[in-house]
Structure 1
Amino acid sequence: MPTVRIPPPSKTIYLIRDGKLALEPADVENDTVGSLLGALFAASEQPLGERDTALRGFTYLGIKDSLNPVQRDEIQLPRTSTLTVYIRGDGTLTKLGKAQIVCTAQQDAAFELVKIVRENVHRPSKPEGRYTCGELK
């Protein structure tokens, strides 16, 4: 059976330029989704010049991925995987902010859906929804 080689995700993150998503180089040691998301949120603390981010005031807490094999009528359907991104912060997570997170994560083709969960201190966590990059762009 031929193996398909997926090119490794590049070390890039999505920031905002002129009100639109823009792919920018990330200063990270490796191209894991976790390190890219860490760099994405860290960008809020840095001077970005002509670029901007909708993630100021939000903190990246971590990720969890799940591969879900779906059983239906004894036929195993292709596995879909969802990446859950945990964040903390007050204020509104805008559509652009969500797009920055989801599109950065989905550079890794393994993740078909990205779910964003806001962890609150002293309050229950709040799901922000499940997305694909295409629907947020």
Structure 2
Amino acid sequence: MRAPRLLCAAAALLAAAACGISTTDVQTKGAAPTIKLPPPSKTIYLIRNKELTLEPADVETDTVGSLLGALFAASDEPLGDRTTELRGLEYVGMKDSLDPVQRDEKQLPRTSTLTVYFKGDRPLSRLGKAQIVCTAQQDSAFEQVKIVRENDGRPSKAEGRPYTCPELK
């Protein structure tokens, strides 16, 4: 049994050599080709002349969590001719979810929703919602953003339905 396999292997090697193809060892010629997607920018949305404006953020990483933290923290900084609707509000965190995965045995397209949690006693204006949503949606992975107010001793409350940046601008 073993001999016919060896003969076949030898015959294949001779056939390759007969065609002018010489055998070589594996040679590394460089890194494998890859693509690199640009990360979300290190910018947040502030307000100038009652309109959203994209401004540089002082963050180490370009993750959405870092950007949202910088957005809420900007209310404690001198902003010059810019302002924010998030003064007195505190960023608590975020959670990503994929909805829906499957319904009635039919695979549906996934939509990624980012939920942003914050604390504070004052109302959140439409422009404040736009700051949060537009900052988060710089990462194109998030199709919509839901904003939830965390209340001490009371249930959390969603600030409306999930939003997209264009509808709030």
Corresponding position of 1:136: 168
Q: Which amino acid aligns with 1:38?
A: G
Quick one: structure 1 residues 79 and 5, their matched pair in 2 at CA, closer, same or farther if it must change by over 3 Å? farther
Higher helix proportion: 2
Q: Which runs of 4+ in 1 moved over 6 A?
A: none
Could you list the runs of 5+ residues in structure 2 that have no partner in the other structure?
Answer: 1-33
* Counterpart check, 1:98 vs 2:129: yes
Q: TM-score, normalised by structure 2?
A: 0.76
Query: Please, which of 119, 134, 150 is the counterpart of residue 88 of structure 1?
Result: 119
Q: Which amino acid aligns with 1:135?
A: E
* Structure showing greater relative contact order (alpha-carbon pairs closer than 8 Å, 6 or more residues apart): 1
Query: Please, which of 32, 37, 60 is the counterpart of residue 63 of structure 2?
Result: 32
Query: How many correspondences in the alignment?
Result: 135
Q: Could you tell me the percent identity over the aligned residues? A: 76
Q: Which amino acid aligns with 1:132?
A: T
Q: CA deviation at 1:122?
A: 1.5
Which range is displaced more, 18-27 or 75-84? Answer: 75-84
Corresponding position of 1:125: 156
Q: TM-score, normalised by structure 1?
A: 0.92
Pairing 1:9-24 to 2, within 5 Å after superposition: 9-24=40-55
Bigger-Rg structure (1/2): 2
Query: Please, which of 85, 103, 111 is the counterpart of residue 54 of structure 1?
Result: 85
